[in-house]
């Protein structure tokens, strides 16, 4: 029972979680690391349910001040062409390039050319939620503890979805919940540029779904050391239906997200008309997110996608099955009262099957909210604690990824089930 903002915290995991060795030589496991990283969840009692927590977000225009330098990457994929923007957290500066978000300016070519290093600092690669960007308050709350005191011990970058955070759309390739190629390119670039750094991933909401799909696609070959996902909708079809069946879900959340996506398309009207076959006016006439997805993902409307319906897209892009394919330490955080990434879409049974994964659920928190007294966000604590514990307390060289997905006897070894089988074929390289 919840009382005065004190939320229940629960962990879902395999019977025998992934064994890990501490740098002190003692044995531990993934569950213990997650539990040690997760403080009690004590939220603002005046924000007593998921709807109020989630809606309170719009009253929070400020947050920790994080400064960025932006680099525009040319996509290396032969099919998914175009450009995308990556914002790197840097020391405070007074530059600001319009129309970029506050405290953001472009790298000079000379400065970015010298960014490479053989140091061993941990590096975090972050994915934001739907139509967001590096400027989002929930994201800055999460990474700020890693950047304190003039940069701290971490390097952090945020991969902005195409067209988001005032980035340009330069091809017919937009983003969606299966759009793993840009994060894959950044991870591979980081591995080459910083060969000695342990790389970590962090994803929020839609970005959490993308990151889960990416980690599942990579399997035992994933270059990331560990990953955290927060507020992942997991089953997109179920989440969409759950939102549509209630007045608040449809008229508040679906309408709000649909409006945000319409505005995104409107900002890029010239590029959309140049690079795609999308019906610009048809998109401007939609009201809800599922209507937007219907317009954008249906056959022949976009150079990338060819789904016959939005629900075919939702089924194909969902990351619930991807949980079974993960072969790196993976920590998921969700609120049971999340009105957008709903509880019934969380794949509890899959987390019980895979010892490389642990799910932490709180009874309160809303969608990417978890507001504490004083304006803090609870989710920042388990995220930063887990990443710091993995980077500083765990002997990362002791993590051995199993060949062919095999692990101890309790682990799912479905010879007849491929969790990453997709309806729409996408060549990953």
Are 222 and 355 in a shared domain?
Answer: yes
130 and 253: one domain? Answer: no
Start-to-end Cα distance in the chain:
49
- Phi/psi at 387 (nearest 5 deg)? -65, -45
Query: At 123, phi and psi to the nearest 5?
Result: -130, 135
Pairing verdict, β 67-74 and 83-90:
antiparallel
Cα–Cα distance between 7 and 253 in angstroms, integer?
23
| 276 and 373 together in one domain | no
> Is-catalytic flag, 367?
yes
User: b/e per residue, 348-377, with b = 16+ CB within 10 A?
Assistant: eebbbbbbbbbbbbbbbbbbbbbbbeeebb
- Report whether pLDDT(148) > 80: no
Q: What pLDDT, on a 0 to 100 scale, did the predictor assign at position 403?
A: 53
In this structure, the answer to whether residues 125 and 180 fall within a common structural domain is yes
Residues 168 and 292 in one domain: no
Last residue of a domain, one of 256, 289, 317: 317
pLDDT at 141: 95
Look at residue 405 in the predicted model and tell me its pLDDT. Answer: 46
Which range (75-89, 381-395, 405-419) has the least confidence?
Answer: 405-419
Neighbours of 413 (CB within 10 A): 13
Distance, C-alpha 45 to centroid of its chain: 28
Burial state string for 103-129 with b = 16 or more CB within 10 A and e = fewer than 16 = bbbbbeeeeeeeeeeeeeebbbbbbbb
Say whether pLDDT at 70 is over 60.
Answer: yes
Angle at 132 between CA 130 and CA 138, to 5 degrees: 105
| Marked catalytic residue, from 338, 369, 379, 384 | 338
Q: Are 121 and 70 within one domain?
A: yes
User: In terms of Cα–Cα distance, which of 363, 397, 400 is closest to 7?
Assistant: 363
Active site residue 395: no
pLDDT band of residue 424 (cuts 50, 70, 90) is confident
Residue 259 confidence (pLDDT): 96
Q: What is the pLDDT of residue 134?
A: 97
For 152-216, give the DSSP string: TT-EEEEEPPTT-TTPPP-SS----TT--HHHHHHHHHHHHHSTT--EEEEEETHHHHHHHHHHH
Q: Specify the pLDDT at position 277.
A: 86
**Number of independent structural domains in the chain:** 2
Question: Which of 30-44, 140-154, 393-407 shows the highest mean pLDDT?
Answer: 30-44
Provide the residue range defining the domain that includes 25: 6-235+328-398
- Could you say which of 317, 345, 374 is where a domain stops? 317
∠360-363-365 over CA atoms, to 5°? Answer: 90
Q: How much is the pLDDT for 426?
A: 67
Check whether residue 158 and residue 66 sit in a common domain. Answer: yes
248 plus 337 within the same structural domain: no
Do both 374 and 287 map to the same domain? no
In a domain, residue 46? The reply is yes
Q: Enter the tokens of residue 116.
A: 């490479």
Whether 37 is in a domain gets the answer yes
Out of 134, 171, 205, 369, the active site residue is: 205
Residue 407's pLDDT band, with cuts at 50, 70 and 90, is: very low
264 lies in the same domain as 160: no
330 is written with which tokens? 């993976």
Contact 164, 131 (CB under 8 A): yes
What pLDDT shows up at residue 416? 73
CA distance 256 to 244: 13
Number of H helices and E strands in the chain, helices first, is 15, 14
**267 in the same domain as 347:** no
Q: Give the Cα separation of 429 and 110 in Å (integer).
A: 29
**Do residue 159 and residue 304 come from a single domain?**
no
User: Could you tell me the CATH number of the domain that includes residue 193?
Assistant: 3.40.50.1820
Structure tokens at 44: 């603002």
Which of 317, 340, 365 finishes a domain?
Answer: 317
Euclidean distance between CA atoms 79 and 151, whole angstroms: 37
- 234 neighbors 105 (Cβ within 8 angstroms): no
Is 147 part of any domain? yes
Q: Is residue 407 part of a domain?
A: no
**Is the Cβ–Cβ distance between 358 and 12 less than 8 Å?**
yes
pLDDT per residue as tens digits for the range 22-50: 999 999 999 999 999 999 999 999 999 99
Residues 200-234 have pLDDT tens digits of: 999 999 999 999 999 999 999 999 999 999 999 99
Contacts of 388 (CB under 8 A, 6+ apart): 146
Nearest to 211 by CA among 220, 200, 221: 200
What's the rounded Cα separation, in Å, for the pair 48 and 9? 16
Residue 421: inside a domain? no
pLDDT at 413 over 50: yes
In a domain, residue 322? The reply is no
What is the pLDDT at residue 287? Answer: 97
Domain assignment present for 422: no
Give catalytic status of residue 93 as yes or no.
no
415 inside domain: no
From the list 128, 268, 367, 379, the catalytic residue is 367
Q: Find out whether 53 and 138 touch, Cβ atoms under 8 Å.
A: no
Q: How many residues does the chain have?
A: 429
Q: How far apart are CA 348 and CA 171, in angstroms?
A: 38
Q: Report how far residue 72's alpha carbon sits from residue 87's, in angstroms, rounded to the nearest whole number.
A: 9
pLDDT in tens, 228-275: 999 999 999 999 999 999 999 999 999 999 999 999 999 999 999 999
Q: Supply the pLDDT for residue 411.
A: 52
Structure tokens at 41: 């969840």
Q: pLDDT at residue 409 above 50? A: no
């Amino acid at each position: 029972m919840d009382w005065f903002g004190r939320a229940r915290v629960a962990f879902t995991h395999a019977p025998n979680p992934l064994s890990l060795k501490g740098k002190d030589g003692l044995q531990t496991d993934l569950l213990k690391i997650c539990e040690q990283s997760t403080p009690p969840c004590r939220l603002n009692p005046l924000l007593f349910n998921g709807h109020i927590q989630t809606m309170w977000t719009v009253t929070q225009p400020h947050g920790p001040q994080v400064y960025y330098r932006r680099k525009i990457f040319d996509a290396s994929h032969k099919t998914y062409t175009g450009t995308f923007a990556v914002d790197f957290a840097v020391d405070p500066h007074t530059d600001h390039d319009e129309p970029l978000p506050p405290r953001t300016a472009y790298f000079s070519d000379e400065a970015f050319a010298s960014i490479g290093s053989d140091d061993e600092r941990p590096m975090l690669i972050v994915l934001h939620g739907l139509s967001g960007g590096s400027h989002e308050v929930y994201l800055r709350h999460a990474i700020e503890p890693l950047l304190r005191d003039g940069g701290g011990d971490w390097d952090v970058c945020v991969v902005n979805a195409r067209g988001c955070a005032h980035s340009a759309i330069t091809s017919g390739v937009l983003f969606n919940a299966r759009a793993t190629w840009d994060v894959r390119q950044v991870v591979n670039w980081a591995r080459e540029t910083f060969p000695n750094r342990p790389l970590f991933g962090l994803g929020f909401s839609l970005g959490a779904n993308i990151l889960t799909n990416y980690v599942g696609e990579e399997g035992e070959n994933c270059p990331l050391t560990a990953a955290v996902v927060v507020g992942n909708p997991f089953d997109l079809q179920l989440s969409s239906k759950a939102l549509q069946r209630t007045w608040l879900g449809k008229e508040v959340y679906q309408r709000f997200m649909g409006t945000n996506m319409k505005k995104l398309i409107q900002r890029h009207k010239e590029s959309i008309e140049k690079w795609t076959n999308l019906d610009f006016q048809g998109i401007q006439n939609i009201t809800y997110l599922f209507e937007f997805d219907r317009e954008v993902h249906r056959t022949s409307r976009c150079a990338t996608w060819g789904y016959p319906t939005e629900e075919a897209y939702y089924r194909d892009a969902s990351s619930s099955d991807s949980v079974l394919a993960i072969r790196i330490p993976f920590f998921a955080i969700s609120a049971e009262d999340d009105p957008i990434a709903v509880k019934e879409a969380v794949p509890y049974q899959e987390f019980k099957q895979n010892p490389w994964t642990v799910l932490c659920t709180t009874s309160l928190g809303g969608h990417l909210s978890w507001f504490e007294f004083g304006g803090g966000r609870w989710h920042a604590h388990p995220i930063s604690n887990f990443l710091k514990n993995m980077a500083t307390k765990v002997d990362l060289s002791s993590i051995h990824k199993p060949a062919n997905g095999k692990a101890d006897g309790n682990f799912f070894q479905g010879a007849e089930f491929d969790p990453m089988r997709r309806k729409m074929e996408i060549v990953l390289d």
